[in-house]
Structure 1
């Protein structure tokens, strides 16, 4: 069982257009409405791969009811916490060639009682021996202090489960002292955490090593099209996966985390699974999560011989 916690979920509307020109009227070639938020996407990817999962999330208003309905339609178990505010709606515009423009709404402000209720649901129902991992994902909504994730990590560890954390900024830094079992920053989040640019694979290795010194037991770092890194006490690995054509990278990092956790959450085999899931996700529309039929695991390459001098694109 892998439980996900998404403090700031969303409805994700995705439009595909040929080219985006500011100030112009566009006609979308396709559009989709998906349940969203990083942890929700992890649960969607886990469900698509046949794993047991439950999505814990605050929901409110008509958009929250619609999100719950979409989750039920995809066969995903949910443990909603009722809030007074409306669940946010995000908009993504994807151009031919995969360039993404995204507008994320701020979302509702949670009250102290709603914040406590969210922690209570996790502590009461999802820290027992049946839970292998809890994945805490995404930004914190207004009303939750940066230390909220740190409190959650401590609560989960006290119940004996392992915890994966995918967030950024002050919330990530505040949680490291609680020793999450794995953190999953992307290149930009890694650079923000250490306060300097990440220009090479070696730079990313050094930055991930700093996060481990601050408390992260493992660092799974996404370098976009350049691959992924995994740093842990037992070793370090670098991997790549080929992508024929990028259609949308919405949720690709979440698919990667689902692949990693579904494959055990440690070691080079789990890194390979993360790469396969991420590569499959970027070739699908909107935030569609890959199924096993979409994966090209044989094309994934993972090595302990990390190319430290390799420059990163972009």
Structure 2
């Protein structure tokens, strides 16, 4: 069983539009509403693979109730922590060439007692999860050290931790030794404080984060594939996706694939690549099923092309 924790979940409404123009009336060619939030998406992808998963979520108001209902319909068990604020709603505008414009609401502010209850709910969960995936940004009211405390409590409960966050929250959690972290290349550049232009730059940055406490680093490089830096050996892989409909949730599907396959080694990296490539071929933030995967298109190697230039060099971003 895989448990996910999403401190700032959302309802995600996606509109497919011919093109984006400011100041005009845009007529959508399609729309959908999905449960949102990085950990939520991980649970959805795990459930789509037929594996039991529970999503621990702070939920409030009508949007929170609808989010729980949608997750239940997708086979995800929900453990809700009731909050006074309303769960946020986000909007994505998807163009035919794969360009995505997102509007993410800030979300509710969690009171100290709500924050404490969320931590305690994870610690006392009785499902004996093999992995706990802690994912996404922290809502207002939670300090950057919140994830660090969650990592400690989860380890005390005997679970392995996958952490997918960025900025101060990521750096604060590293000394508590999460088992795997999953930054994208831009988050990795911000974490080490310098631009990353080649695969070799990414390797060096990932090794720095391992030295700071991460057990393994699964780095998403967008069109350039994924990199796994771990004690078991370094691997690089690609999985071309010619037709791109939406990249919303692709990184989350990738993390789900990694954990489904055991969370370590080349087989897990190959599963991550297959799930991520399948997700970008689907509309909105739809998660892939096993039928959507194309494992024959995945390539994983231990020979790292360190001089490979990144398609989109990663700059340091303010957070």
Give the TM-score taking structure 2 as reference length: 0.97
Question: Which residue in the other structure is 2:273 paired with?
Answer: 275
Structure 2: gaps spanning 5 or more residues:
313-319
1:71 aligns with 2:67: no
For 1:54, the equivalent position in structure 2 comes to 54
Name 2:110's counterpart in structure 1: 110
Q: Please list the CA deviations of residues 101-157 of structure 1 after superposition, one character each: whole Å capped at 9, or x if unmatched.
A: 00100000000000010011111115x6x3100000000000000000000000011
Give 1:164 shift: 0.2
Aligned with residue 252 of structure 2, among 251, 254, 276: 254
Once the two structures are superposed, residues 21-68 of structure 1 have per-residue CA deviations (whole angstroms, 9 ceiling, x without a partner) of 112111000000000000000000000011110000000011111111
Partner of 2:179: 181
Which one is further off, 63-72 or 105-114? 63-72
Match of 1:45? Answer: 45
Q: Indicate the residue corresponding to 1:97 in structure 2.
A: 97
Q: Which residue of 1 aligns with 2:315?
A: none
Give 1:154's match in structure 2, choosing from 143, 152, 155.
152
Counterpart in 1 of 2:201?
Answer: 203
Aligned to 2:15: 15
Question: In the alignment, which residue of structure 1 is the partner of 2:298?
Answer: 300
Distance (whole Å) between structure 2 residues aligned to residue 85 and residue 198 of structure 1: 39
Q: Aligned residue for 2:317?
A: none
Deviation per residue, 1:182-234 (Å, 9 max, x gap): 00000110011001111111111010011000000000000001000000012
For 1:163-184, what per-residue CA distance to the aligned partner results, in whole angstroms no more than 9, with x for missing partners?
Answer: 0000000000000000000000
SS at match of 2:170: helix
Asked if 1:291 corresponds to 2:289, the answer is yes
3-state secondary structure, aligned to 2:196: coil
Per-residue CA distance 1:225-267 (angstroms, 9 max, x = gap): 1000000012000000011211000000000000000000000
**Structure 1: distance between partners of 2:256 and 2:220:** 13
- Count of residue pairs the alignment pairs up: 312
Shift of 1:289: 0.2
1:263 maps to what in 2? 261
Alignment match, 2:6: 6
Number of the residue aligned with 1:312: 310
Could you give the per-residue CA deviations for residues 265-305 of structure 1, whole angstroms, max 9, x where no partner exists?
Answer: 00000000000000000000000000000000011000000
Matches within 5 A, 1:16-31: 16-31=16-31
Task: Tell me what 1:83 maps to.
Answer: 83
CA distance in 2 between partners of 1:166 and 1:10 (Å): 16
Partner of 2:211: 213
Counterpart in the other structure of 2:120: 120
Q: Distance in 2 between matches of 1:155 and 1:112?
A: 17
Aligned to 2:115, the other structure's residue is in SS state helix
1:164 aligns with 2:177: no
Cα distance in 2 for residues equivalent to 1:18 and 1:310: 34
